[in-house]
Structure 1
């Protein structure tokens, strides 16, 4: 069995992928079986020091491709327990298994002047063993240093007993550590059959020096919060590999170091940390030991052992309580600048007021990358605060004024109060439904615009109602990288969608919406239309009506906005054997019309197929008795009985079996759909067996031609008839040249 771990911080942690790189379902997995998997990855003799922790429910992200499952009763030897399955409602990529492999091998450095350097020694069977320096490389030294807590290591490898000779037994081995190995005990080993049996001279002992690498705001960020000043603490290990830090072992001494890393100044204010739920990122570090004096968290000791971590992230607020508001304007994004600093509100002097400062002010209000209008001389009226801040001292890169070099002292008067306009236009609506359109819609407009729309229905405040928002129309006449639509759940809420180039997703769901439309180029013409309404159960279901079966898609993201405790396995038809399968966040029910207890109703020109999706009021996926249902939704597909197909045949041409027909798949966003039967016409030369023959280029006059008409319906109640058959010189000849063979059936 081939195995690899993907999407984790190292080759020894990640999503389990096996055989043809399918994933493994969580069902039946245990920590003991995770340990078995890790021992399959570890190199001998490290296997005896290896344990594994099971990471459930796509902890390292969802995989793709086939899914494997353990047969019931599997306690060891996973390779013999595997069976492939089709994606099922209770075993899908939401249930992909991950493992974290931990080496219990104890490592130390000896013989150095400092604790970050020395000979590499490891404890094996209660004896300290040195390592021969054959093929000893930076990769191996780096893995040793990471094992010792130098998580951002800048390691140096030494050979020839650089740190002196020891009296230890030296074992010959050729470690093959890789760039992202986080534990020396999980590295590959070349020629492992020699390990422990061949030795080297005491003058050939391996050593290392472990240094630290600086981190900055490019590799450390606060994400998933109201702004870049507050959110989940995330570190980038390599490429785009973002991950969090475990809350369980967090020490507040690291708070200020984190904020210094991303450019915040203390300004006499204190940063704070808080617990936050894990998002769609793994936890990379279990602990970060800082004294508080470090310039950035790269100088702190950190450990990759997340074995004992929960699923909670560390969150940090670097604002230090500093707040910004704009007063006396027509909307929240224009007005006189006032800053809460040192426990009181203060205005800002306009003597050094510039575009860098104004960008930081607007970004602090949740409007990043704007081009504000700088206004002076108390444009929005004079303030009445006891103090006026002299200068913000921003340099242009700041996301929050807490990163600026604020100077409080000065001799400014309120006649010099600074003002700003962050955006070109603003609109707030409180209706239950409606639409927002571009200027002169549906015509295109070319103005440069930066507009904000806030949708905050009054009913939501009292009833906690969810709403569904759709970008119904987004047209761009000339493709340029100069416009976007950003949607968040409120001004400081979670990001829901950010559209730049491509068609947006169908819809987003939230309690309220903050929409920002930006367009920087006046040479390009755009238009847009955005609608919203109260969310209903039917919005979570789409139906596609085929000629023989229907497909129903239940969007669980939307459904859980209405019912957060929804259990997917409890959604079913009256025939409980008709189950669904997972596709991303959607459950797909794909079944024939003749099954699942579907009812058939004949109409004059159509056939109506009806069924019902149900959700019982029960907390178990397999309820024994059901008293009542939380909801039921009637679903139906209506297929037209009247359909037609035509085909042409000319005896002096190659036999044609191409048929043009009407019908196919109808798809609507509600609980009903419509479609038509797929009708096919084919010509044959032989009556029995009805085998189609296209070998000869033509027919003799007077030869028999056989016509086969069929539909792909599974409903035996359908009837068909051949309506008409005519002969004429050419397929394009007018009706006056037709000779009917069959007319009106």
Structure 2
């Protein structure tokens, strides 16, 4: 623990610089931040003030002062912001610049996406990202390009904490700076697209009086928040009173502006407004993703609405976590398959996203990160698609429970009188749960409160989805007659050619066929998922180069990115299904402890 007697302004300069916290504000003695319990530093520090680290400062022999923890030194640094927006039309839009090594520089637009923009908006207290701009849309900058291929998850507190392929990058990204547009408005006390309106002005969030806000203003706010059209403008503090300052100018939008800060304003309004008059707003909250070309609402080519135009998604690195986000966003149950190669036909228009990097927990596909793969050429022959289940089993496990079917965006219970063994075959297959074990009636998993499915299902048993089965007209049923189902829940991974059930070449079951896994990026977290899935204890080794012999058939997975906590290997990120980066000479293997 350092003591006040050894501290000086020069020492403080070095410590604040080393911590990337700007300049020192105050050096405090007398244990201002409480007494420590560590050993005492016995040498006197003699920094000149220009060192990059405290350990580079000269020190003298042991000091003569008899110091105790009553003299522990404290330090307050300025904690400067390390990101800024320049050349925009508001404090919350512009070219992104990062402070690094004491110099401001730009961010390369390679791989720049809404997840990266979300971090910058949050760091600057600018609310939600509206757009992630590339190719110097907001101005060409000079100076160093500090970041290339930012890889934010979207939850980081600062852009510097995001992954980046290269810091101090120079060369390929000439004159292509990343930019962002943050909303500068927010709706609080409700949902993402409804609530009390607040506007950011001079770094302060301010409430808006209902007397100065009209339908044209609402059009702009809903558009800026990517929430569709306004449904209702509410006054009289409909979403409770705020405690922010009151906005004192009258907003005069024409209704076609992209941001509220682009609207003209008049001088301070004549109305005597208080928080009793806080304006609230309800927007439509439109869906920004859709599935096209499939045989149901929950299957098809993935298309994303961005800048008012629908475009497709590249299938490079398109995997089950990405599909899970789309299925959840559309309220379509669990993902059955993540398909590529324009499985549902090629789209048209822009290809909006680079290869996706979803964890599977995001609320919308736009919140996922993406990364540019230089070796992958995306075109409409590589459009991504998804098949969601459209059925689910509730009140049980993943493969057992009360059956519900999605119809016209509503989950509906199924009557046991209209459901038989052939129907069960299809449902279990659709959920990737193997064969049906038991078909149960009489609300074996408790009664549900969903609407009742009124048609009789007549599957032949070989359909891939329940929505493809013929159905007859209405059938009378009550909630006492809910259909219950238990499927086998087959294993989707196995170990082959090892000397025990818990060691061998990794093989994955996909689309009814076993295939291998490429050893590119194969590591211990991935091995941990396999060992857990097979109830084989802890991972001992993650092996490559066909250690357990070469497999045959498809190489289903490459470039795995497991955290190690996933319940199944299929839930890990990957380079996409059946897009091998290796041959069977590089089949992955694993050795588990077996305990």
Higher relative contact order (CA 8 A, sep 6+): 2
Radius of gyration: which is bigger? 1
Query: Same fold judged by TM-score > 0.5?
Result: no
Task: Tell me the TM-score normalized by structure 2.
Answer: 0.30
- Choose between structure 1 and 2: higher strand proportion: 1
Query: TM-score, with normalisation over the residues of structure 1?
Result: 0.25
Whose helix proportion is higher, 1 or 2? 2
